[in-house]
Amino acid sequence: MNHWYSVLFSSLRIENWDQEYTVFQPASGKTHFLNAMGLQILVLLDQAPLTLDTICMKLAESFSMQANTHFRQQIAVTLQRYEALGLIARTWKTPL
């Protein structure tokens, strides 16, 4: 199973606007608008590479939600979107 990890998280310029976040990505020159859960994914992946299941479990804990199939699908789509934007990447190997 592939692990997801953040890419150049420390280079991001993150501002909190009352639980909304603007994230400037210098590498692409783009600015992203995220909600709390959107940012939480990036923060989690900066701490350690994680699988989709682990991400869902941690988010469900943090936001007091049920990690059902629909939720898992939404997180999977978000991860792919982040990957396309160059915010995260994935590896098939278990990180050391």
Partner 1 sequence: MSDKKMQEPSDQSLANDQIHNTPQPIRRKLLKGTVAVPVIMTLHSGAALARTSNLVGAAVDSETAKIGDQYICAHNADLDPSGKYDLGDSPQLELVENVEECLGTLDEPRSGILISVSAYNSLQGRGFSTDL
- Tell me how far apart the alpha carbons of residues 68 and 82 are, in angstroms, rounded to a whole number: 21
- List the beta strands (DSSP E) in 1-96: 3-6, 13-16, 20-25, 30-35, 88-91
Q: Which amino acid, residue 93?
A: K
Q: Applying CB under 8 A, which part among 5-13, 35-43, 44-52, 88-96 lies near partner 1?
A: 35-43
The amino acid that residue 46 corresponds to is: D
Q: Pick one of 5, 9, 37, 89: the residue that binds partner 1 (CB under 8 A).
A: 37
Which of 7, 12, 41, 45 touches partner 1 (CB under 8 A)?
41
Residue numbers at the binding site for partner 1 (CB under 8 A): 19-20, 28-38, 40-41, 63, 65, 71, 74-75, 78, 81-82, 85
